[in-house]
Amino acid sequence: MTTIKLHNSKTRKKEVFRPIDPNNVRMYVCGPTVYDRAHIGNARPVVVFDVLNRLLRHVYGETHVTYVRNFTDVDDKINARAAESGRPISEITAETTQWYLDDMAALGAREPDFMPRATQYIPQMIAMIETLIADGFAYAKDGHVLFRVRAYKHYGALSGRSVDDMIAGARVEVAPYKEDPMDFVLWKPSSDDLPGWESPWGRGRPGWHIECSAMAKDLLGETFDIHGGGNDLQFPHHENEIAQSCCASGHAEDGGGFANYWLHNEMLQVEGKKMSKSLGNFFTVRDLLDQGVPGEVIRFVFLSTHYGKPMDWTAKKAAEAEATLRKWRTLTDGVEAGQVSEALVAALADDLNTAGAIAELHKLAGVGDAAGLLASANMLGLLTGELGDWAKGVDLSAYEVLLADTRAKAMESKDFSEVDRIKSALVEAGVEVRMSKAGVELLPAAGFDAAKLEGLL
Cis-peptide, bond into residue 236, ω within 30° of zero: yes
- Among residues 70, 73, 68, 76, the alpha carbon closest in space to that of 34 is found at 73
Query: What are the residue ranges spanned by the domains of the chain?
Result: 5-265, 268-387, 397-453
Write down the CATH number for the domain with range 5-265: 3.40.50.620
Distance CA(95)–CA(333), nearest Å, equals 36
pTM comes to: 0.89
pLDDT in tens, the chain (457 residues): 899 999 999 999 999 999 999 999 999 999 999 999 999 999 999 999 999 999 999 999 999 999 999 999 999 999 999 999 999 999 999 999 999 999 999 999 999 999 999 999 999 999 999 999 999 999 999 999 999 999 999 999 998 887 776 665 555 667 889 999 899 999 999 999 999 999 999 999 999 999 999 999 999 999 999 999 999 999 999 999 999 999 999 999 998 889 999 999 999 999 999 888 888 889 999 999 999 899 999 999 999 999 999 999 999 999 999 989 998 998 999 999 999 999 999 999 999 999 999 999 999 999 999 999 999 999 999 999 999 888 776 678 899 999 999 999 999 999 999 999 999 999 999 888 989 888 898 887 767 888 899 889 8
Angle at 432 between CA 429 and CA 435, to 5 degrees: 125
Distance CA(452)–CA(270), nearest Å, equals 30
Give CA 282 to chain center in angstroms.
Answer: 17
Q: Are 426 and 453 in contact (CB under 8 A)?
A: yes
Distance CA(155)–CA(246), nearest Å, equals 10
Number of residues assigned to the chain? 457
- Among residues 405, 352, 409, the alpha carbon closest in space to that of 381 is found at 352
Largest CA distance in the chain: 95
Distance CA(44)–CA(279), nearest Å, equals 20
Give CA 237 to chain center in angstroms.
Answer: 18
Q: Are 122 and 200 in contact (CB under 8 A)?
A: no
Distance CA(4)–CA(59), nearest Å, equals 9
3-state secondary structure of 308: coil
Amino acid at 114: F
